[in-house]
Structure 1
Amino acid sequence: MTVSLFDQFMSPTLLGVPLIALAITLPWIMYPAPTTRWLNSRFLALQGWFINRFTQQLLLPLNLGGHKWAALLTSLMIFLITMNMLGLLPYTFTPTTQLSLNLGLATPLWLATVIIGMRNQPTHALGHLLPEGTPGPLIPVLIVIETISLFIRPLALGVRLTANLTAGHLLIQLISTAAFALLSSMPVVALLTSTVLVLLTLLEVAVAMIQAYVFVLLLTLYLQENV
């Protein structure tokens, strides 16, 4: 039973070819490219409004040096939120439940923020490792603790996204299995379980959007410290 529950997180294959590459490419195919027409469709207008509003909100706390990351961070947000939402559909695969993919996204971006800080303002970047006014005996301990907290940031980004999506998918499968099992013996309980399942699915839609936003927001905060 335990193995069958976690089978949903395995990458499906077709003729021996993993379909995770198709699942990662799919978000970019779904969104239409902007046109040069004066009047676009409603979907294009809504898409442009969302991208502009999100970019403004994202760049609000950043200095001018961090505005160069606008296209990258906005694209990452759209990419993550689309994959998370598509994974809630039946017979689909969620690539963001794979820790390897999330770490592959988090580690290079976090490392880029650290390198930018060390290149542009090394004194300020190293100053984060030791708060001002620290007593002398605590200096080595605090440097070690802050260094560990610095290097654990990409792991925290990847694990947070993976754990939230994995837990939600597992709960949905467990509750749906219980509803099917109780349908013949206790239909009233099965109906109540199905109601809980619908509410949980709505919660997972919110979690899929919030976790994508939190992933990008934390990257923005890391970037803010180094620009």
Structure 2
Amino acid sequence: MTLSLFDQFMSPWHMGIPLLALSLVLPWTLFPTPTLRWLNNRMLTFQGWFIARFTQQTFLPLNVEGHKWALLLASLMVFLITLNMLGLLPYTFTPTTQLSLNLGLAVPLWLATVVIGMRNQPTAALGHLLPEGTPTPLIPVLIVIETISLFIRPVALGVRLTANLTAGHLLIQLVSMAVFVLLPMMPTVAMLTAILLLMLTLLEIAVAMIQAYVFVLLLSLYLQENV
């Protein structure tokens, strides 16, 4: 029983071919393509408004140099939201429950912010490793601690996204199993549990959107320190 709960997080294979790449590409086909017309339909209007508002809020505290990342981070935000939301549908797979995929997104982007800081302002970038006003005996210890915290950032990004989505999916599956077990024995309790399952599903939808936003927001904060 314990193994069957985690089978939903296994990368799907078909005829020896991994379907992870297919699950990453197919969601993009669901987005409407912008047109050159003055007036668009409601879906295109909402999509444009959402991306514009997200970009405005994310890059409001950033310097002008950091605005070059607007296209990349906005695309990453929409990409993560799509993967997280589609993973809640039946008979689908959530690629962002794989730690390897999340680290593959987090490590290169975090490393790019560090490289930009070292190239543009190396003194300020290295200054983050030693807070101002530190007593002399604590300088070596603080440098080691700040260096470790710097390298933990991409791991925290990947683990946070993986852990939140995995925990939500497991909880939904456990509650749904409880509904099926209680239905023939105690229908009233099963209906109450089904209501709880519905509320939990709505909460998981919110978590899927919030975690995508937090992932991109933390990347923008790391970028802010290096531009």
The alpha-carbon deviation at position 141 of structure 1 amounts to 0.3
1:117 aligned partner: 117
Q: Deviations over 1:14-61 (max 9, x none)?
A: 222221111100221111221111221111111111111111111101
The question of 1:79 aligning with 2:76 is answered: no
Letter of the aligned partner of 1:131 in structure 2? P
Q: How does 1:20-169 map to 2 (within 5 A)?
A: 20-169=20-169
2:191 aligned partner: 191
Q: Aligned partners of 1:226, 1:145: CA distance in 2, in Å?
A: 19
CA RMSD of aligned residues (A): 0.7
Q: Tell me the TM-score normalised to structure 1 length.
A: 0.99
2:18 aligned partner: 18
Misfit runs of 4+, over 2 Å: none
The alpha-carbon deviation at position 188 of structure 1 amounts to 1.3
Q: Aligned partners of 1:8, 1:32: CA distance in 2, in Å?
A: 29
- Counting matched residue pairs gives 227
Q: Deviations over 1:77-105 (max 9, x none)?
A: 00000000000001100000000000000
1:8 aligned partner: 8
- SS across alignment from 2:62: coil
Q: Aligned partners of 1:114, 1:134: CA distance in 2, in Å?
A: 23
Q: Tell me the TM-score normalised to structure 2 length.
A: 0.99
Letter of the aligned partner of 2:58 in structure 1? L
Identity of aligned residues (%): 79
Letter of the aligned partner of 2:42 in structure 1? R
In structure 2, the gaps of 5 or more residues are none
Q: Aligned partners of 1:27, 1:220: CA distance in 2, in Å?
A: 24
Q: Aligned partners of 2:129, 2:114: CA distance in 1, in Å?
A: 12
Q: Aligned partners of 1:132, 1:199: CA distance in 2, in Å?
A: 48
Letter of the aligned partner of 2:177 in structure 1? T
Q: Aligned partners of 1:82, 1:26: CA distance in 2, in Å?
A: 10
Q: Aligned partners of 1:182, 1:140: CA distance in 2, in Å?
A: 60
